[in-house]
């Protein structure tokens, strides 16, 4: 799906076309794999985002209880970790391909186009939600009232969205790599700030509920939670969601990436399948802690402002919990997440509209995204939107899972659709060359008639029927919509296995399979040559860079210590006001120090590698 520059490494091979392949279409070579620390940092940074403010407040508004939150989020996030580890990572490590490339290999051009269209829709909506969240912080600078309706009711807010949104669009078009690198620095800071914000607000919340600023036991925490945060009563005054719903959402929140297999693009770089467990850095620190912290911050802000959590937006909450650092956390978290998803949306759209450049398509998609971002209902409904988005792509994950794991075990042929197409093609040519030629030709350049003639109709039908099945269950309210992805996934697996067996998967394709093996061996030889000619990354072990990293970590430590002092050394409200004031001031200074030193160290490492390249 993602266009890359062509390799300039040549090789002696029976398939010279391999040198012309797009690197994105090839398996990741051994010399480019990463260790577990890479994935722990990656997931910690990606899964602590601006959405956590919204989701944390949503659990409060839905009326979960404190025990349901503490246990349900833990169980649900562990199930999500296991889903990555047992489903996504094995396929990614065994194929070393992204889902987009592997899906094209399994299901052909038409299916890939449909899937890319679904990705445009999903990532556009998520990007719009993140832009709106960022604007909730910017609006405070202009004294714009909170946007509590589904539509904007302030013209200046619309202008703010347009301004912030177009910056996001331009960065996604021209400067995404810099933002992606900067986003990697944000993970540790975001985790510290979420924890610190909850610690800084909790004494005020405790004083309002139990009449004292300090806790004497864990039961005090449960009491405060039950009475002022997770009360078991929703915003309409009715009994709220229970333990099973909390577990279901925590599991389903990332259905797109684990059951839907989107994260094959990341995990194909993992040296071992067990590295799927590194997603715990995002789920336990990012989602579990961040969602709980966001609920505490939202409830605390509501108490201090004598409001309700449904009348607040992320900007209100972050500013009250973190002071000036609150502006930074909402803007940065929303901005970096929006850029990443808008970039994905642009790539997906460009794969469909191949005659236009990625920048042109990204701009067009970005304009639509910014318009959507003007409507606050998008970010306020992020919880059901994420769940339904997962339901949209889960059937595709089921199709890939069936072909990869189930077909070889029951005697069906993996990649049967591609083999059948090759068999009906030019039989007098080398199958290996034909396979290589297929990879070097953009699928989107085929005529529509050719696409339909060679389409894996079993895959397309399974996806469509799977969607009807899943959304039909939702319409009939057979079960909680948080769990709809499970029967939908299983149903699609069974359906696709049956349809594929009736369409050609039961046949054998020895010549085509031999050509596939020959091509894979040629690719390995090509990549071995790459490994010999390409230099390895140089790690910056200079004293200056070590000092910069040390300063960054000290800044985070100081921030957390000040928050702990505010939480545990505020004997009364007078002491609390002093301590929280110090936390606001020095927390902001430490934020500047952290980003300044971290970014400086990053630039030093990049310059060192450029000098050695």
Give the pTM: 0.83
Query: For residue 8, with 0-12 CB atoms within 10 Å meaning exposed, 13-18 middle and 19 or more buried, which class applies?
Result: exposed
> What is the widest separation between alpha-carbon atoms in the chain?
87
pLDDT attached to residue 429: 46
> Which stretches of 353-447 are DSSP H helices?
358-373, 377-380, 382-401, 416-423, 431-440
Q: Are 322 and 196 in contact (CB under 8 A)?
A: yes
Are 55 and 293 in contact, with CB atoms under 8 Å apart?
no
Q: What is the pLDDT of residue 13?
A: 42
HSE at residue 584, side-chain half, CA atoms within 13 A, is 16
**202 token code pair:** 């909790």
Please provide residue 312's backbone torsions phi and psi, each rounded to the nearest 5 degrees: -115, 155
Q: What is the pLDDT of residue 9?
A: 39
Q: For residues 397 and 489, is the Cβ–Cβ distance under 8 A?
A: yes
54 Cβ contact list (under 8 Å, min separation 6): 129, 133, 294, 314, 379, 380, 382, 383
Q: Is 421 in contact with 454 (CB distance < 8 Å)?
A: yes
The neighbouring-strand residues paired with 239 are 233
536-558 exposure pattern, b = at least 16 Cβ within 10 A, e = fewer: eeeebeeeebeebbebbeebbeb
- Residue-level pLDDT at 8: 40
Q: Which residues of the chain have pLDDT under 50?
A: 1-15, 426-429, 442-446, 448-449
**CB < 8 Å & 24+ apart, contacts of 110-114:** 110/451, 110/452, 110/455, 110/456, 110/460, 111/455, 111/456, 111/459, 111/460, 111/463, 112/1, 112/351, 112/443, 113/351, 113/352, 113/443, 113/444, 113/451, 114/460, 114/463
For 444-477, b/e burial (b = at least 16 CB within 10 A) is bebeeeebeebbbbbbbebbebbbebbbebbeee
> In angstroms, rounded to a whole number, what is the distance separating the alpha carbons of residues 505 and 512?
13
Say what the pLDDT of residue 5 is: 37
Residue 2 Ramachandran class (φ > 0 left, ψ -120 to 50 alpha, else beta): beta
Residue entry with tokens 């059937």: 395
C-alpha to C-alpha distance for 345 and 120, rounded to whole angstroms:
5
Q: CA angle, corner 223, sides to 219 and 227, nearest 5?
A: 170
Q: How many CB atoms lie within 10 A of CB 503?
A: 18
Residue in the structure block whose two tokens are 């696709």? 496
Q: What tens digit of pLDDT does each residue of 165-186 get?
A: 888 888 777 765 666 666 667 7
Model pLDDT, residue 593: 95
Give the three-class secondary structure for 536. coil
Task: State in Å, rounded, how far the first CA of the chain is from the last one.
Answer: 27
Nearest alpha carbon to residue 493 among 400, 392, 403, 402: 402
């Amino acid at each position: 799906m993602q266009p890359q520059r062509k390799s300039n490494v040549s090789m002696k091979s029976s398939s010279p076309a391999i040198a012309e392949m797009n690197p994105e279409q090839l398996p990741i070579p051994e010399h480019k794999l990463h260790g577990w620390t890479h994935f722990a940092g990656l997931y910690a940074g990606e899964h602590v985002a601006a959405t956590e403010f919204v989701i944390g407040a949503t659990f409060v508004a839905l009326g979960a209880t404190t025990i349901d939150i503490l246990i349900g989020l833990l169980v649900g996030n562990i199930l999500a970790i296991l889903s990555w580890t047992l489903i996504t990572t094995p396929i990614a490590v065994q194929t070393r391909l992204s889902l987009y490339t592997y899906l094209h290999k399994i299901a052909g051009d038409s299916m890939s186009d449909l899937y890319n269209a679904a990705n445009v829709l999903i990532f556009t909506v998520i990007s719009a939600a993140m832009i709106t969240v960022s604007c909730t912080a910017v609006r405070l600078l202009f004294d714009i009232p909170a946007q509590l309706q589904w539509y904007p009711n302030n013209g200046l807010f619309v202008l703010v969205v347009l301004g912030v949104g177009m910056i996001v669009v331009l960065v996604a078009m021209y400067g995404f790599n810099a933002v992606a690198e900067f986003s990697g620095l944000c993970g540790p800071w975001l985790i510290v700030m979420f924890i610190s914000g909850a610690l800084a607000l909790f004494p005020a919340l405790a004083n309002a509920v139990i009449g004292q600023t300090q806790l004497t036991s864990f039961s005090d925490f449960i009491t405060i939670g039950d009475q002022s945060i997770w009360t078991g009563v929703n915003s309409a005054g009715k009994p709220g969601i229970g333990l099973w719903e909390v577990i279901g959402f925590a599991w389903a929140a990332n259905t797109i990436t684990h059951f839907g297999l989107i994260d094959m693009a990341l995990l194909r770089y993992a040296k071992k399948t067990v590295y799927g467990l590194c997603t715990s850095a995002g789920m336990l620190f990012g989602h579990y802690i961040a969602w709980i912290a966001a609920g505490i911050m939202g409830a605390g802000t509501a108490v201090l402002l004598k409001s309700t959590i449904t009348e607040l937006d992320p900007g209100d909450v972050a500013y009250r919990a973190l002071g000036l650092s609150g502006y930074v956390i909402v803007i940065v978290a929303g901005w970096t997440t929006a850029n990443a998803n808008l970039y994905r949306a642009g790539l997906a759209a460009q794969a469909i509209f191949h005659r236009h450049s990625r920048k042109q398509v990204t701009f067009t998609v970005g304009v639509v995204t910014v318009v959507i971002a003007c409507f606050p209902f998008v970010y306020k409904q992020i919880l059901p939107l994420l769940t339904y988005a997962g339901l949209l792509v889960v059937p595709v994950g089921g199709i890939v899972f069936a072909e990869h794991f189930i077909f070889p075990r029951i005697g069906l042929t993996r990649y049967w659709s591609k083999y059948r197409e090759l068999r009906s093609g030019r039989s007098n040519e080398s199958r290996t060359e034909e396979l290589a030629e297929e990879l070097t030709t953009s699928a989107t350049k085929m005529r529509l008639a050719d696409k339909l003639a060679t389409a894996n109709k079993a895959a397309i039908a399974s996806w469509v029927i799977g969607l009807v099945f899943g959304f039909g269950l939702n319409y009939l309210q057979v079960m909680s919509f948080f769990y709809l992805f499970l029967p939908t996934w299983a149903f699609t697996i069974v359906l696709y296995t049956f349809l594929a067996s009736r369409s050609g998967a039961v046949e054998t394709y020895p010549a085509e399979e031999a050509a596939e093996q020959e091509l894979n061996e040629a690719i390995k030889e090509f990549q071995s040559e790459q490994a010999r000619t390409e230099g390895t990354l140089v790690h910056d072990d200079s004293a200056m860079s070590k000092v910069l990293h040390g300063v960054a970590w000290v800044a985070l430590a100081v921030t957390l210590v000040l928050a702990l002092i505010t939480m545990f050394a505020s004997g009364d409200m007078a002491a609390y006001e002093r301590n929280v004031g110090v936390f606001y001031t020095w927390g902001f200074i430490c934020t500047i120090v952290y980003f300044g030193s971290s970014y400086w160290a990053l630039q030093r490492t990049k310059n060192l590698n450029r000098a050695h390249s």
